[in-house]
Amino acid sequence: MNRLWVRLTFAFIAITLAGVAAVALLANATATTSFKDYLSRQEMLNQSGIVDTLAAYYRANGNWDGVANVLDSTASGSMGRGRGQGRGGPSAILADANGLIVYGTGTGASLGSAERAGALPVTVDGATVGYLALSTPGRLILDQAQQAFLDQLSRNLLVAALVAGALAIVLGLFISKALTTPLSAMARAARAFAGHDWSHRVEPCGTQEVAEVALALNEMAASLQQAENLRRDMVADIAHELRSPVTVIQGNLHAMLDGVYPLEQAEIATIYDETRLLNRLIDDLRELALAEAGQLQLSLRAVDSAEWIQSTTAHFNAAADSQGIKLVLDLPAALPQIRADPDRLAQVLRNLISNALRYTPQEGQVKVTASVAQPDFLKVSVSDTGTGIAAEDLPQVFDRFYRGDKSRSRSSGGTGLGLAIARTIVEAMGGRIGVESAAGQGSCFWFTVPLARAD
């Protein structure tokens, strides 16, 4: 099975078994060697009476000359001949205080540090004058009890290895499942997303990295779900916006064909007005699509901000007077230049002023101000004393086809794309746009635009 959890399980088992086998073999070999060394030391200690004999000999003679006769006669019955004859057991080796062998196998050579550490010291008056060691030229012969002990030790190590292997299998399965279960959940979520089920979510679990991937999948699903909802809403809104003028055109033409309406200029003008509304909607949709795709053509250059605001606002003086609304322009004595497309930015300001005039009652006021709110940006604000915007509607003000007054007609209320287009234009120039409002207290729309840099 080419599954990740299977591969992880086998990997854990193989690594664990290899480690257990290596430890068991090493422990068995070490234990056997240590046990045999222990027996040898025990045999030497059992014959430690010879150490006293050797100490008395050195005290009497002051050296080891002629010690072979003493060792041959004393150890012949227990340790065997110094030259390894006898029972094949360990033979005696005597070295002087410097480790030089004076009796036994290797006479004239020196004891190694390990051999000297394992030998019995011969002391006279507190000073070490020699070392008595055993050499094992052949395999140490163990009795039945000793061999049984080593066999039991080997069996215990084997059982320990088997138990460790079984635990490795269980733990390997548990760990591999714990690692792969979140991946399987994410795979199911991906298949659900492929089927356009954006409501599916993955429970973040497992390691930090896996949990981060799950959170990223959930964020992606939420974003795609929002985009899908916006797409559906936009299609429904466009269909709704197109239906009204098309219905009017179709109804009037049908009435003319049936002779209900006379074929007169006034009736034709009504149909023409609806076609203009359709054309405006199409132009706004195209402009919005270009802006959101980053393909809106902008001619950025240094612009005199005061002159640009004054000329744009002046176009609404007549409209404000006809509605009985006071249009106020409040600019400081000197404003810096901005870097912007003046035509596109004028489109934004015209949209904000026209909306303010539409929602401001007679004898109300619309005020246009500008100031350097940040070191690198100019802030332009359009405030009114109109009806304001409810708190629940504020987040949707700049959405496509948003209308605060759901009952107003399309002819008086526009296409509902003006603020969405304004936002994309301002953001394309590197600025921001926002609104501050409360129901019954008027509104203040504002946007920022970068200042022109001095060459």
**pLDDT tens string 237-257:** 667 667 767 877 888 788 888
- Which long-range contacts does 204-212 make (Cβ < 8 Å, 24+ apart)? 205/181, 206/178, 206/179, 206/181, 206/182, 207/179, 210/179, 210/182, 210/183, 211/182
In this model, does residue 384 exceed pLDDT 80? yes
pLDDT at 409: 44
* pLDDT given for residue 119 in this prediction: 75
Contact present, 193 and 200 (Cβ < 8 Å): yes
**Range among 74-83, 212-221, 308-317, 390-399 with highest mean pLDDT value:** 308-317
Q: What is the pTM of this model?
A: 0.49
Choose the most confident range, by mean pLDDT, from 226-230, 384-388, 393-397.
384-388
* Assigned token pair, 360: 């401001």
Q: CA-based angle 359:363:368, to the nearest 5? A: 60
pLDDT of residue 28: 64
- In this prediction, residues 3-18 reach a mean pLDDT of 66
Better-scored residue on pLDDT, 413 or 435: 435
Q: What is the pLDDT of residue 141?
A: 41
Contact 349, 312 (CB under 8 A): yes
| pLDDT value of position 34 | 59
What is the per-residue pLDDT for 137?
Answer: 46
CA atoms 305, 307, 312, 317: torsion sign: positive
Identify the top-confidence range among 93-102, 116-125, 219-228, 412-421. 93-102
Q: What are phi and psi of 173, to 5 degrees?
A: -60, -45
More confident residue, 433 or 390: 433
| Residues 320-373 pLDDT 10s | 999 999 999 999 988 899 999 888 898 899 889 988 998 899 999 999 999 997
Mean pLDDT of 94-104: 87
In the predicted model, what is the mean pLDDT of residues 33-56? 65
Residue 407 has pLDDT above 90, yes or no: no
Q: Which residues contact 219 (CB under 8 A, 6 or more apart)?
A: none
**Is residue 414 pLDDT above 60, yes or no?**
no
In this predicted structure, which of 260-269, 305-314, 428-437 has the lowest mean pLDDT?
A: 260-269
Structure token pair of residue 154: 């080997």
Tokens of 381: 């604000």
For 6, the token pair is 């299977």
Select the more confidently predicted residue: 76 or 114: 114
CB atoms within 10 A of CB 109: 12
Other beta carbons within 10 angstroms of residue 191's beta carbon come to: 11
Predicted local confidence at residue 401, as pLDDT: 66
Banded model confidence at residue 84, pLDDT cuts 50, 70, 90: very low
pLDDT digits (tens, 9 = 90+) for 429-444: 899 999 998 877 889 9
- 30 pLDDT exceeds 90? no
- How does pLDDT run across 105-138, given as a tens digit for each residue? 778 888 777 677 767 788 888 899 988 876 554 4
Give the pLDDT of residue 353: 93
Is residue 403 within 8 Å of residue 234, measured between CB atoms?
A: no
